[in-house]
């Protein structure tokens, strides 16, 4: 989600697809030759995009799939970020 007036972006990442360090972000036990490069490329792309946005003066925040369980904490985090 982009907030151009505030120059802020919120990314919503799936824990598996973006290799979050939580139980949902664990790599699969099979097919590692396929999954490892794919997941590493996702992480590298995420870092590159955040870096480019920072160079342009934008702030970024990542919301992880596993954080969606605690709506109150997430709401506070998002509001704090957008202030």
14-71 pLDDT, tens digit per residue, is 999 999 999 999 999 999 999 999 999 999 999 999 999 999 999 999 999 999 999 9
Please report whether residue 79 resides in a domain. Answer: no
63 forms bridges with which residues in the sheet? 12
Please report whether residue 20 resides in a domain. Answer: yes
The total number of structural domains in the chain stands at: 1
Q: Give whole-number Cα distances, 53 to 23, 34, 58, 62, 70, in Å.
A: 29, 29, 5, 13, 28
| Contact yes or no for 69/23 (Cβ under 8 A) | no
pLDDT at 61 (0 to 100): 98
CA angle 65, 1, 28 (to 5 degrees): 30
Please report whether residue 68 resides in a domain. Answer: no
pLDDT at 38 (0 to 100): 96
Range of the domain at 2: 1-26
């Amino acid at each position: 989600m982009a907030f151009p007036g505030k120059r802020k972006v919120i990314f919503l990442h799936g824990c598996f697809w973006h290799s979050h360090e939580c139980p949902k972000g664990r790599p699969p036990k099979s097919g590692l030759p396929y999954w490892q490069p794919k997941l590493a490329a996702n992480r590298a792309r995420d870092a590159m995009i955040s870096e480019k946005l920072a160079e342009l003066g934008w702030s970024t925040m990542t919301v992880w799939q596993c954080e969606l369980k605690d709506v109150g904490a997430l709401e506070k985090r998002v509001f704090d970020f957008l202030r």
